[in-house]
Amino acid sequence: MTTTEEILRKIEKGGTLDKLATELGMRKSVLTARIEFMVRAGYLREISSREGLGCVGSPMCERCSVPVPGGREWIKMYVLTEKGRECIKSAENFRKSSNLRFTQSSRKG
């Protein structure tokens, strides 16, 4: 099962919902539900943009990698909140400490 951390990392890098779902091996509807949960849980913040404005209102405007396609009234974009960034950082720290414990225990034997 794909972890919250994996999804947050992919969202942080940018891309479309279709691309993220493919990379994560998830159905688009499942990914959408997970994203909606992460918004409610405070890991992500949704940014909506009207057609023609692009990502002008986004704090990520300079780094935005999602083109605004013509013919769509709204584009949904997501940015990680501090809680989302902490989730990634905590997972990294856990992995590092787990690897260290494994390395130390394998040397004892």
Taking only the tens place, the pLDDT of each residue in 54-80 is 455 555 566 665 555 554 445 678 889
pTM above 0.75, yes or no: no
Structure tokens at 89: 């950082």
Domain 4-108 has CATH 3.30.70.120: no
- Domain edges within the chain: 4-108
Burial of 90 (0-12, 13-18, 19+ CB in 10 A): exposed
Residue 59: its pLDDT value, please? 56
Taking only the tens place, the pLDDT of each residue in 35-60 is 999 999 999 998 765 544 545 555 55
DSSP 44-71: EEEEEEETTTTTTT-TTGGG------TT
Contact indicator for 26, 1 with CB cutoff of 8 Å? no
Residues of the chain with pLDDT > 70, as a percent, come to 63
